Amino acid sequence: AQRVTQPEKLLSVFKGAPVELKCNYSYSGSPELFWYVQYSRQRLQLLLRHISRESIKGFTADLNKGETSFHLKKPFAQEEDSAMYYCALKRSASKIIFGSGTRLSIRP
C-alpha cells in the first residue's frame, strides 16, 4: 500500500544543533514528495517539494529512491524552527497523503 511514515512523534534538539526529520514512503513509480510545516497559531503551509530541489529557511530534503526516504535536514537549528512537520506524498493525480507528523522542539 502507498503510505508515508514519520517514525518520530517528537524530536527535541538544542539551538545550533543539526536537525533531521525522517520520512519514509512506499510507492510504486516516481514519487512526488513534499514537506509541510505548521507553526504555532499559523496555517499548515508548504515548506518544500522535492522537484524544486531548493533550500527553504535553511532546510533541504533529498529524495533517496534506494532507501525510499525523503528526510528533512537543517545544519543549525533555530528556535523559530519549532513546529509540527508533515511529510506528504502525491499518491495519484488527485490525492496527497500525509504522514503522522513530527513535532520539532528547539531548546535554547
Partner 1 sequence: NAGVTQTPKFQVLKTGQSMTLQCAQDMNHEYMSWYRQDPGMGLRLIHYSVGAGITDQGEVPNGYNVSRSTTEDFPLRLLSAAPSQTSVYFCASSFSAGANVLTFGAGSRLTVL
Residues in touch with partner 1 (CB under 8 A): 6, 9, 34, 36, 43-46, 49, 86, 90, 93-101
The Cα diameter of the chain in Å comes to: 42
Which amino acid would we find at residue 16? G
| Locus of grid cell 525510499 | 68
Minimum distance, C-beta of residue 97 to partner 1, in the bound complex (Å): 6
Smaller CB separation from partner 1, 11 or 15: 11
Nearer to partner 1, 19 or 35 (CB): 35
Smaller CB separation from partner 1, 15 or 47: 47
CA-to-CA distance for 42 and 26, rounded, in angstroms? 30
Give just the sign of the alpha carbon dihedral 86, 62, 21, 1. positive
Q: How far is the CB of 103 from partner 1 (least distance, A)?
A: 10
Q: Which three cell numbers stand for residue 106?
A: 528547539
CA 69 – CA 51 distance, rounded (Å)? 14
Q: In the bound complex, what is the minimum distance in angstroms from residue 108's beta carbon to partner 1?
A: 26
* Shortest separation between residue 65's beta carbon and partner 1, angstroms: 21
Residue with Cβ nearer partner 1 (43 or 66) = 43
